[in-house]
Chain A
């Protein structure tokens, strides 16, 4: 049985013939999707499906995160029914309102946003938050889509324009816009029994707080090791909820680590990459584990290397490096 292919790109109807690729049909319609190898190797023609059935052949060689986001290769995509595509840089903007500002640690606040526009996202992706005057900063999403608000963790940077503004409880009720969501740092459910390793430094806990609860909600059955590191013990925020989560899930192993401090039996004092490396080196099944590492770029690079040397596959280490201060607008 054959169905007639129908194609839309960025909302425009594109005439397509049976057996023709989306790339070729778009080209005939005057839409240039960047491409090079025409065989699925270079991935220059990566686009995303808004709706419709994605032919399996169009996702060969893509990682689980890209597949989950509906990404596909236009040069291998021969639609068999109705398919609507969009460019990857088509980033949408959503209206939101600051619903709550709550201090979690001396320099960290939790900001909850009520979405005025509906936004679908994966816990652990990031959004760019725009203030009315255009000031923009990127934050990871710590909440689950089932929750009523979007949760962000904001570290107050000395002299930080956005963080200082957001940390003020008087902001409740202010309107902001979100751009995105973007990024591939999120849980995918293709292997529910493998070990998961999550390492977050500072507010690098934000994506992990979303990812770990998402994994448990999706029925992840393998062991999960979550390490949170901070400069000082007082900055290890969300300790209560993390401890409660670990108590409720025996498969979740929580490790806390601070660079400085003393007198806290639950906190390892030292470098978190050393702790991460020794923890993983002693972990059964580590060769099949997936890891998420979140923090500043230098720390993410060190953690990636440490976990790789401890026996994880580099392909299975998802890094989310963030910088405080301005960063380019959200892009996938």
Chain B
């Protein structure tokens, strides 16, 4: 069975999706402050790796990376509210790109499985 990554078009589709996703994230006042002062190109590279991972594409995900990467943000107040917003933007992005709702739900579940790592619990 092919992955969602393959079904939505692989790497080229990821590049389009990540721009849409990152634009939503940066435009969201609730979470934008966590992205202040970051290098946008590097950040988008990470967003692409994240999208690739949650859609089942080739990746080197380790929960430990996710935990370490967000630990400093947890100290400045990163919480469930912010995580929920990011997951919602992820779902909206995929729906906008025409991904069927049941596949979007699968991706949402994959993202959800990272909640404890991201929020350092």
Chain A hits for B27, CB < 8 A: 309
Chain A, interface residues (CB within 8 Å), range: under 10
Chain B hits for A301, CB < 8 A: 40
Contacts of B31-46 to chain A: CB distance below 8 A: 40-41, 44
Chain B hits for A315, CB < 8 A: 15
Query: Could you tell me the distance between the alpha carbons of A309 and B20 in the complex, rounded to whole angstroms?
Result: 10
Chain B hits for A309, CB < 8 A: 23, 26-27
Q: Across the interface, name the chain A residue whose C-beta is closest to B18.
A: A314
Quick check: A314 and B26 within 8 Å, CB to CB?
A: no
Query: Could you tell me the distance between the alpha carbons of A308 and B20 in the complex, rounded to whole angstroms?
Result: 10
Chain A hits for B44, CB < 8 A: 314
Chain B, interface residues (CB within 8 Å), range: under 10
Q: Across the interface, name the chain B residue whose C-beta is closest to A298.
A: B37
Contacts of A300-332 to chain B: CB distance below 8 A: 301, 304-305, 308-309, 311, 313-315
Q: Across the interface, name the chain A residue whose C-beta is closest to B37.
A: A301
Quick check: B19 and A313 within 8 Å, CB to CB?
A: yes
Quick check: B41 and A308 within 8 Å, CB to CB?
A: no
Quick check: A305 and B19 within 8 Å, CB to CB?
A: no
Chain B hits for A304, CB < 8 A: 40
B102 vs chain A, min Cβ distance (A): 29
A306 vs chain B, min Cβ distance (A): 10
B28 vs chain A, min Cβ distance (A): 11
B39 vs chain A, min Cβ distance (A): 9
Candidate in B22, B23, B26 with the most chain A CB atoms within 10 angstroms: B23
Query: Could you tell me the distance between the alpha carbons of A301 and B23 in the complex, rounded to whole angstroms?
Result: 15
Contacts of A269-318 to chain B: CB distance below 8 A: 301, 304-305, 308-309, 311, 313-315
Query: Could you tell me the distance between the alpha carbons of A304 and B43 in the complex, rounded to whole angstroms?
Result: 13
**Known: A313-B19, A314-B19. Contact between A305 and B26, CB under 8 A?**
yes
Query: Could you tell me the distance between the alpha carbons of A309 and B21 in the complex, rounded to whole angstroms?
Result: 11
Interface string of B10-30 (1 = CB under 8 A from A): 000001000100110011000
Q: Across the interface, name the chain B residue whose C-beta is closest to A313.
A: B19
Query: Could you tell me the distance between the alpha carbons of A315 and B45 in the complex, rounded to whole angstroms?
Result: 11
Contacts of A63-96 to chain B: CB distance below 8 A: none
Chain A hits for B40, CB < 8 A: 301, 304-305, 308, 314
Contacts of B96-110 to chain A: CB distance below 8 A: none
Query: Could you tell me the distance between the alpha carbons of A314 and B48 in the complex, rounded to whole angstroms?
Result: 13
B89 vs chain A, min Cβ distance (A): 14
Chain B hits for A313, CB < 8 A: 19
Contacts of B67-104 to chain A: CB distance below 8 A: none
Query: Could you tell me the distance between the alpha carbons of A308 and B19 in the complex, rounded to whole angstroms?
Result: 9
Q: Across the interface, name the chain B residue whose C-beta is closest to A312.
A: B19
Query: Could you tell me the distance between the alpha carbons of A313 and B41 in the complex, rounded to whole angstroms?
Result: 11
Query: Could you tell me the distance between the alpha carbons of A314 and B41 in the complex, rounded to whole angstroms?
Result: 8
Query: Could you tell me the distance between the alpha carbons of A310 and B78 in the complex, rounded to whole angstroms?
Result: 26
Query: Could you tell me the distance between the alpha carbons of A65 and B85 in the complex, rounded to whole angstroms?
Result: 37
With A308-B19, A314-B22, A314-B44 known, 4 other A-B pairs at CB within 8 A are A301-B40, A308-B26, A309-B27, A311-B23
10 residue pairs, one from A and one from B, having the closest CB atoms? A313-B19, A309-B27, A314-B44, A309-B26, A314-B40, A304-B40, A309-B23, A314-B19, A305-B40, A308-B23
**What are 18 A-B residue pairs whose CB atoms fall within 8 Å in the complex?**
A301-B40, A304-B40, A305-B26, A305-B40, A308-B19, A308-B22, A308-B26, A308-B40, A309-B23, A309-B26, A309-B27, A311-B23, A313-B19, A314-B19, A314-B22, A314-B41, A314-B44, A315-B15
